[in-house]
Amino acid sequence: MASEAPRDKDDAAKGTPAERAAAAEHTAAEERAEALRREIAHHDYRYYALDAPEISDDAYDALVRELREIEERWPDLVTPDSPTQRIGAPPSAQFAPVAHSQRMYSLDNAMDLGELDAWLRRVRDAVGERECAFICELKIDGSSLALVYEEGVLTRAATRGDGRTGEDVTVNVRTIRDVPLRLREEAASSGPLPLPIEVRGEVYMPKASFERLNEANIEAEVAPFANPRNAAAGSVRQKDPAVTASRDLATFMYQVLDPRRLGLARQSEALDWLKAAGFRVNPDVVTCASAQEVRDLCASAVNRRNELPYEIDGVVVKLDSFALQDELGYTSKAPRWAIAFKFPPEEKTTVLRNIRVQVGRTGALTPLAEFDPVSVAGSTIARATLHNADEVRRKDVRVGDTIVVRKAGDVIPEVVGPVLGMRPEDAEEWRMPEECPSCGGPVWRPEDEAVARCTNVGCPAQRLERLEHWASRGA
């Protein structure tokens, strides 16, 4: 049975020796629990925000384990911002709507350097002869979040939704390890914090985590996510917070609402405040003094995207001064003081050599395009799923075609379609085989499904896939 704190300390002081000893033990545990929370928060900040850990994983785990043991013995010592409470809520049946205190705007896009130059000229014309610095931030290919802190403690997390109303995903966001449950004391260095404080940014899934998740989905014959952005958005909206916790999500925060309440005059200052408060801020942020510097940075950023451990799809360019931002204001859809320079998708041509049919553990038959190896978005690919017969027919790809390939979300190999002008005269339309390529058994496709299946449960390919699934981590 868990120990309970004395109801009244004065009574405890006058109680029996056993009661006084229990009260002293509880007080010592309370002080130790608070010290552990501060120490764990410090190491979280060093690990996630600064990427400079001071202790080993084993030592960190020992601190968390000690705190959990204290809280299990004295449940009254559990606090909402305790690191043991990142996964503590039951699964949710739905996500309640959240009205944003201020609209979460989208950004206008510059699809090439010409459109970027036009925007830079408009900004320069509006600003005139005044000093005009820009801040350039990598555009993370993730999902937007708004976090609210009251008295320094995370009280609400919401998705962007339609920009005016989002969904409450607080219990899930609490499981993301780099989201501080309590702001660091350094955040109040300039004075008491106004209430509440809202910060905004992106939740994303690192490339390595995305690849592991899709590998597990494919093993389980679950449709893989199309790109890390969809994977991140879907993971934040899981009904079970434990599933969100298992997805290895991360965040970059980039906005403080009403920053001048904190004495901040520039976006660069806001980013410094966010980092001091305990948030992860993208390290690849550059302040540019001129339009030419902005242009050069955007042109060069395209070549860096494959080196990063997370997906980016462009560069966000903003006026650094909040006073100038206010002066330029907004259109009905987007701020006039910011723009997203979007990267062009990387596509390559190659020759389709074969369409091979794979048999999964449930008998599902999946056509797989096999083509001459080609380097796309930083890696060499030679195969891509075509999903089902309807997809092959829709894209009209045939063996021998010169095809255009890319990576969906710059990660998953994808066949865009054929170059019809280069199609061989003898290229024939592909059809799903009527017999299983593994066992020769009959292939059946229900009328209301897109997937054809081998009906032989003893099929060698199915047996092998079932065995591999049974021995896998996911099973």
Asked if the bond preceding 433 is cis, omega within 30° of 0, the reply is no
| 8 Å CB contact between 112 and 299 | no
Nearest CA to 142 out of 235, 216, 271, 222 is that of 235
Distance (Å, whole) CA 37 – CA 464: 48
For 429, the enclosing helix (H) or strand (E) is none
For 390, the enclosing helix (H) or strand (E) is helix 389-395
Distance (Å, whole) CA 109 – CA 115: 8
Q: Which residues pair with 376 in a beta bridge?
A: 379
Distance (Å, whole) CA 407 – CA 416: 9
338-342/348-359 β-pairing: unpaired
Contacts within 8 Å (CB) and 24+ apart, 45-54: 45/180, 45/184, 45/278, 48/177, 48/178, 48/250, 48/280, 49/178, 49/275, 49/278, 49/279, 49/280, 49/281
Distance (Å, whole) CA 132 – CA 150: 34
Distance (Å, whole) CA 217 – CA 234: 14
Helix (H, G, I), strand (E, B) or coil at 35: helix
- Transcribe 268-284 into DSSP letters: HHHHHHHHHHT----S-
Query: What are the distances in angstroms from CA 468 to CA 311, 356, 428?
Result: 31, 21, 35
Answer yes or no: 207 catalytic: no
Strands (E), 224-294: 250-256, 285-288
Region of 272 please: left (phi>0), alpha (psi -120 to 50) or beta: alpha
Distance (Å, whole) CA 78 – CA 80: 7
Catalytic residue among 9, 139, 275, 348: 139
Amino acid at 14: K
Helix (H, G, I), strand (E, B) or coil at 421: helix
Helix (H, G, I), strand (E, B) or coil at 34: helix
Nearest CA to 427 out of 391, 388, 392, 380 is that of 392
Which residues are tagged catalytic?
139
